[in-house]
Structure 1
Amino acid sequence: MVKKNNAIGSWNMMTMIRYSLIIFFLGGLAINGYYRINFQEQATITINLTPTTAITTNATSNLYLRECDQKITHMGSTCDLFSGKWVHDNESRYPLYKEHECHYLEDTFACQTYGRNDTKFLHWKWQPHGCNLPSFDGREIVEKLRGKRLLFVGDSLNRNQWNSMICMLQSSIPGVKKAGKSLNGKLFTFRANDYNISVDFYWAPMLVESNGDSPTDHNRKDRIFRLTAIEKHARHWGDADVLIFNSYHWWRKTTVKLVTDAGSLLDGSNELYEEIDNVHAYQMGLETWSKWASTHIDFSKTKLFFMGATAIHSRATDWRGKNLSTCYGEMDPVMNDGFRENEMGLELISILESSISKLKAKGVNVQLLNVTRLTQYRKDAHTSVNRRIYRPLTDLQKSKPELASDCSHWCLPGVPDTWNELLLASILHEQNSVTLNSATKPQGCDRH
């Protein structure tokens, strides 16, 4: 009897375990279905990197201010390409081209030609946490861009990126290639006739009409813009297959002047304007651009991108450098994952992210390439004083070269090449839906 009772008890225990496992499994399916349905409502950007690797960003979160609250997939095959670190390239992959081999390189970005002797800055690669950036294959990209027009629109940082792109591609494109300017110097063009490829840049630093619209004569004490006037520029953008916008640095002055009289001239002696804060002005400017994008772009034909803000290393105390110093003389990146540059306009960046999110909520297929963090680490990569100087230096600048340093633009080859690798990955790879992992955060999120 004792053995019989033990057997019955053992059978009852095994039965309970089996039923518990069945209930647990069914409950898991229900929970998974609930979260799958809810997460499908979130806007995501996913780019396939390899058959087993992809990137994801939650487009509804603040890509800079709340980066550590951003849900990033690190399960299995997904990660965030914009969360990572710079590592020295031991595979001789970088630089992607040599300065003297790019016949289209502007003097503004030719740092080695203008006296930069160290070369370490050329050999850093961006390493995302948990995946690899796709290797740049110029021949493959050229084939996929055959018959296409890429158009960069914005300020000189976008021209910096445009110049990088044509330097990356030019050696892989056979046949006749030409570069030039048109539209009174506003349109910079690069064309490969045999492949019918155009890679162009259009100067419009505030996107809307402004007193900075001349590509050669735009140094003004005040920033003045006309709110609703974008068509003067935008009529030259419509035939592009890929549009890459940027607009940030020209809005950083604390006050901006808005022309209120439709008949007045920008910078005219009798102009009527309202002086407003730059945050409000930036929001108004992006609203005008957003309305144009949502009504004028054929998304079955055109891919739309907006570049995030890039760093200005004008205050070395941010990285424990000397007081009143800048990026001048810097030869190494910042290696601290938690580093933040204090000069960045957080309110402006928040407005940009919000504008992109609103467009996506309306069904507009636009991607924000969040290069802000990866540029913040590269205090060593600016043109500084190693560029063509168009105005004679003052005696003070000669004695203190850090005061003459350009800490906004970037040497080529250099950091903009990585922006273009990210851009090309976004253009060329298909998109799929993903599951987000709320438990995983980027490295460095616990350090402030």
Structure 2
Amino acid sequence: MARKAYSDEERAQVKETLMVTMIRCIADRGLIHSSIDVLCRKVGISKTFFYSFFSSKEELVLHALRYQQPKLLDYARSLMEDPGLSWRAGVETFLKNCCYGAKSGVAVLSIEEEQQVRRCLSKENFQAFRQDQVSFYGKLLSIFGLPVDSIDPRLFGNLALSMMMVAYHTICNSKRSLKAIFYMAIQDDCIRKNPFDFPINDVINDDTEPKVPLTPAQEEELLKFMQDDPVYAKYYDEVVILLETGLRISELCGLTETDLNFDLRFVNVDHQLLRSTEDGYYIETPKTDSGFRQVPMSAAAYEAFQRVLKNRRGAKAIKVDGYSNFLFLNRNGLPKVAVNYDAMFKGLAKKFNKCHKEPLPTVMTPHTMRHTFCTRMANAGMNPKALQYIMGHANIVMTLNYYAHATFQSAQAEMARLEAAKAETTVVAAETTVENTEETKAAA
């Protein structure tokens, strides 16, 4: 059967349908589940025909997001012209509907999805798209009646992107900063109203997943599972080291042979290894002096490091900002970075939960191991300042309030420990009194 010949008008219609379908798919199911196969099936075209319009799914995403911008501007304009809405209510309604794209048919990328798009595009294409976004936010500020000449559109864009893509607490921090910036604009008579003077909970719900450490039983079960599993056994030592040192994942990735002192049994921590799409591998030093530290090796960590060195092979000759001989390598012999472990922990949790009654915490990342270490040390009664040093926290409040989770059981155990210590002190004091009395009588 001969292929259908499409006219220019029909091709334009198919291209528009692809963009509309992509917007709807992102809103309904997210980018990850919006494959080219799904799109072609919904539009009714072949994959070969798809590639005559776009070179990849990511290129379609950029065109689709550009396609929806005029519709969003029209929507913002209609809210500003609605006599039943105040200016503030109009801005809040717009931001809220953008945040909850699935309810309003707006395509919103998560931060992971944007990173996926960024990795698959050339730097030039992605920068061009970013410039389109800045232009879009400038037009949005004009619709809201704010002076574009006095306000960088990226300020508004940063909050909008944060509300669409990142965590609740990051949104709060962005809003707080922008509220202060726009307040200064009011003081300088640039604007009359502060567009960020509203309760954040009126616009977006706190959907933060609580960070829960592993229980001692979960920790034991997880390590046993990894030892016996043919897929995840090779990650066993890395997880043990995370659980026994409390290192940040980028600190673990940056470790080299020279950072290990087996004689004095400590790990020297003074840098992190990271990687970006543009620059490749690079080294960062700690942001504060507290990040420079020497973390003691437990017996389990000592043995795990020994096994890592023994099994390390196939390393590529690579030097990053003066550092080489990295300990943890991927299958290509190159240093691992955080994203490698993020994917591993997701797969590990999924497989573990399939065969265990008690599932692992909902948020299961490398940071969960650090969280677990700190909680375990705190519940064991470690001196808070010593724990702060090991964790590399600049502020003791973070160590006490953010990581060390007390439970009723731990509080009850601590009370019992103190009661036992008190009773023991009383007994010792009584015995000492009796001995002194007897000695006095003997002397008399």
If asked which structure has higher relative contact order (CA below 8 Å, sep 6+), I would say: 1
TM-score (norm 2): 0.27
TM-score (norm 1): 0.27
Rg comparison, structure with higher value: 2
Q: Which structure features the higher share of strand residues?
A: 1
Q: Which structure features the higher share of helix residues?
A: 2
